[in-house]
Amino acid sequence: MILSRPLKAFVVIAACALPMLALAQGSARNVVSTEHVRAELMAYAPDGVTPGAKVWLGLQLAHQPEWHTYWKNSGDSGLPTTLQWTLPAGVAAGDIAWPVPQKISIGRLANYGYEGTVLLPVPLTIASDFKPSLLGSELPVKLKAQWLVCRKECVPEEGEFSLAVSTRSTTALNAPAFQASFQAQPTPVAGESRVQIEGHALHVSVPGLPSALRGKTLEFYPETSEVIETAAQWTQAWQGDVWTAQVPLSPQRANSPALMPMVLASGGQGWRTEAKVAGDWPAIAAPTNVAPALAAALRGSGGDAAIPALPAPSLTLMAALLGALVGGLILNLMPCVFPVLAIKVVGFTRHASDRRGHRIAGLAYSAGVVASFVALGGLMLALRAAGEQLGWGFQLQSPAVVAGLAALFTLIGLNLAGLFDFGAFLPVSVASLEARHPVVNAFLSGVLAVAIASPCTAPFMGASLGFALGLPAAQALLLFAVIGVGMALPYLAASWIPAVARLLPRPGAWMEIFRRLMAFPMFATAVWLVWVLGQQSGIDGAGALLALLVALSMVVWAFTLRGRARVVLASLSVAVLAALAWTAGPAITRTPEQQSARAESGPWQAWAPGRVEQLLASGQPVFVDFTAAWCVTCQYNKTTLENGDVMGDLKAKNVALLRADWTRREPAITAALAQLGRNGVPVYVFYKKDSPPVVLSEVLGLAELRSAIAKL
């Protein structure tokens, strides 16, 4: 191939720049040392870096005496170490292969973690099409690691590492460290283990363990956090070749898994099994007034007095159902839901005489709403049972879902504005389905209404949704169904009660004006979703979504044309949309490096695990705002939170302000909400030393907030 002069010049410049780039990369480090930990990034590739070869990376943590970091389940407090890798195309990192931990007791608490030196290995998968650089013989590796290191106090630390692994030779310098870590890995157990729920305890039975273990006392480490009382006394026994144990549940249990992976250990060796859970989980109790980490801090400072508990939960199933019903009703007033409901109700005036059709449509719409809420609630409960830390509105924590909803609202807005009719884009046989199957159309309208209402936790719903987590699955799904009934009730009433339908104005030209007017709330909702995406993926993600929405609008407009113009412009607009999706689309789901910075604004600090306890231990009261960019109620409440009188009251009482941003999925925030008996945002909480937390209403009133501040 003959290169043009400009291209030759580019190649020469690039070749000259490579040594400088390599020098710059060489200045990066694979060791980070703090006062408490020496962290080193290591590699182990005994067969080289080729497809199918065993290639490992690992972070070795060498702790100072009495300091420790945490296992995947940290126990009563703490957080596991997290690793974020940057690797070339064709190379993927797996999960941490956690070595067997040890139980670390602190006062009346117990944690699972590591002291001394531990290596956390991670396997790499080298794709068959992986090709190292022609100009280099190294695999560049970058790692951003975060760990929480604790003694009596806890210090969050992090480090950025880089390493170049040779692709043309073996890498075995760190073989002893990796081999020691591999030997500390738990061995899979062949037998079928079971966990039976017996009241407020778990009966564990594990067959298939090595015969050399029979009669020995084993350590028990569940991988699912916030299930058992970690520091409590528990019993174990051997029944022939089956190891059994009776383990008490935690009074503050936050998870109800259907499958419990666990590690049993003896003498530094471990065996791993996944046990099926049988029986019904008991209801989740209200949290204690102080988080475990704070309790440890108080005891460590010499205060071993009994810590009072919160009053017993007063929320009954009937009260939760009532709150769910009222919350579902209020969802209809949300700016993204109201246009859909309004257009449906106004449609009555077109066919005022078809009372039977109205009633059937009302039932179908209601069925769509209720079925969607039950399906969404069931999905959330199933994912939580599988160990995921999720709460209500979890789908909006995905940038891809936010972008999809923004596109949907844009299309609905363009349709309401009169730019196009959905039927014009469909074959006649498909377009006529609405007329031939009005029941299906009404049902799908209910599904659409739930899809656009799901980001909002309406007033009265927060406590009900949190209460649902402690209920058996059937009762929890009943609660979700009642939310759907509440949301569907206005349309159902209008379709079945003639007096309500008679209140509607007569049909006329105003209906078309009203229809087009309703396009603007849809466009406003699309703008809001773009802003939400900006909070999740940064300005580049928001800009990419805006560009895609403009291109999508151009495609819709082009298909409304006729003749040759439609063919040419539609083809061109589709090509532009595809090109933008290919080039700019990845920016939508990319996580910005400084994700937590958005939580810090003015007097507000970013919430972090253990931060509340640290501030309380110093005697300072704390106010926490659990919020998310996609939560409409949260944005409305900012007018109260930013009120001048409120800020003055908070400053006068020396209240520390923390903001827990749940816009993207944050398991630590999900766990903190569960401890408060809540499952969605907004949640507003005042903390004061030696007092139970005070949880305020979802819709903040100025008087309520100032009254709570005055009582601090």
> What confidence score (pLDDT) does residue 682 get?
83
Question: How far apart (Å, rounded) are the C-alpha atoms in residues 109 and 613?
Answer: 15
* Strand bridging mode 622-627 / 219-222: unpaired
pLDDT in tens, 122-146: 998 888 777 766 555 778 889 999 9
Name the H helices within 497-631: 498-502, 510-517, 519-558, 563-583, 586-589, 611-617
pLDDT confidence band for 456 (50 / 70 / 90): low
Question: How far apart (Å, rounded) are the C-alpha atoms in residues 636 and 699?
Answer: 8
> What confidence score (pLDDT) does residue 430 get?
45
Question: How far apart (Å, rounded) are the C-alpha atoms in residues 105 and 480?
Answer: 40
Q: Do residues 679 and 392 make contact, with C-beta atoms less than 8 angstroms apart?
A: yes
> What confidence score (pLDDT) does residue 58 get?
93
SS3 state at 457: coil
Mean pLDDT, to the nearest integer, of 415-432?
62
pLDDT in tens, 329-377: 877 777 666 666 666 666 655 555 567 777 888 888 889 888 888 887 7
pLDDT in tens, 64-89: 998 999 999 988 877 899 999 988 88
**Strands of 304-445, DSSP E:** none
Please state, as a whole number, how many other Cβ atoms lie within 10 Å of the Cβ of residue 691: 15
The pair of structure tokens assigned to 116 is 């001394």
Cα maximum dimension of the chain: 86
pLDDT-above-70 percentage for the chain: 76
pTM: 0.43
* Strand bridging mode 109-114 / 102-106: antiparallel
Closest CA to 201 of 236, 157, 246: 246
Residue 579 backbone phi and psi in degrees, to 5: -65, -40
Q: Do residues 663 and 366 make contact, with C-beta atoms less than 8 angstroms apart?
A: no
Please state, as a whole number, how many other Cβ atoms lie within 10 Å of the Cβ of residue 403: 25
Please state, as a whole number, how many other Cβ atoms lie within 10 Å of the Cβ of residue 105: 12
CATH class of 188-278: mainly beta
* Strand bridging mode 242-248 / 269-278: unpaired
Q: In which residue are the tokens 């923004």 written?
A: 406
Q: Where are the domains of the chain?
A: 26-184, 188-278, 319-589, 595-710
pLDDT at 273 over 60: yes
Question: How far apart (Å, rounded) are the C-alpha atoms in residues 567 and 559?
Answer: 8
Q: Do residues 202 and 224 make contact, with C-beta atoms less than 8 angstroms apart?
A: no
pLDDT in tens, 169-221: 677 778 888 888 899 999 999 889 999 998 889 999 999 999 889 889 999 99
* Strand bridging mode 269-278 / 194-198: parallel
The total number of residues shown for the chain amounts to: 712
Burial class (CB in 10 A: 0-12, 13-18, 19+), 235: exposed
pLDDT confidence band for 608 (50 / 70 / 90): confident
Q: Does domain 595-710 match CATH 3.40.30.10?
A: yes
Task: Tell me if 26-184 shares its fold with 595-710.
Answer: no
User: What kind of fold does domain 26-184 have according to CATH?
Assistant: Immunoglobulin-like (2.60.40)
> What confidence score (pLDDT) does residue 302 get?
36
pLDDT at 299 over 70: no
pLDDT in tens, 509-536: 767 787 788 788 778 878 878 887 777 7
Please state, as a whole number, how many other Cβ atoms lie within 10 Å of the Cβ of residue 678: 26
Question: How far apart (Å, rounded) are the C-alpha atoms in residues 156 and 611?
Answer: 10
Question: How far apart (Å, rounded) are the C-alpha atoms in residues 292 and 119?
Answer: 28
SS3 state at 582: helix
| Rg of the chain taking only CA atoms, in angstroms | 29
pLDDT in tens, 617-660: 888 999 999 887 767 677 778 888 888 889 999 989 999 999 98
Omega before 682 cis (within 30°)? yes
SS3 state at 546: helix
pLDDT at 548 over 50: yes
> What confidence score (pLDDT) does residue 396 get?
64
> What confidence score (pLDDT) does residue 118 get?
94
Kindly state the helix (H) or strand (E) to which residue 433 belongs, with its residue range: helix 433-436
pLDDT confidence band for 18 (50 / 70 / 90): very low
The pair of structure tokens assigned to 249 is 């549940």
Max avg pLDDT among 56-60, 136-140, 453-457, 558-562: 56-60
pLDDT-above-90 percentage for the chain: 17
pLDDT in tens, 97-127: 999 999 988 767 788 999 999 999 999 888 8
Strand order in the sheet with 31-33: 31-33, 37-44, 55-63, 117-126, 91-93
Average pLDDT taken over every residue of the chain: 77
Distances (CA, A) of 360 to 332, 363, 481, 654: 20, 5, 19, 59
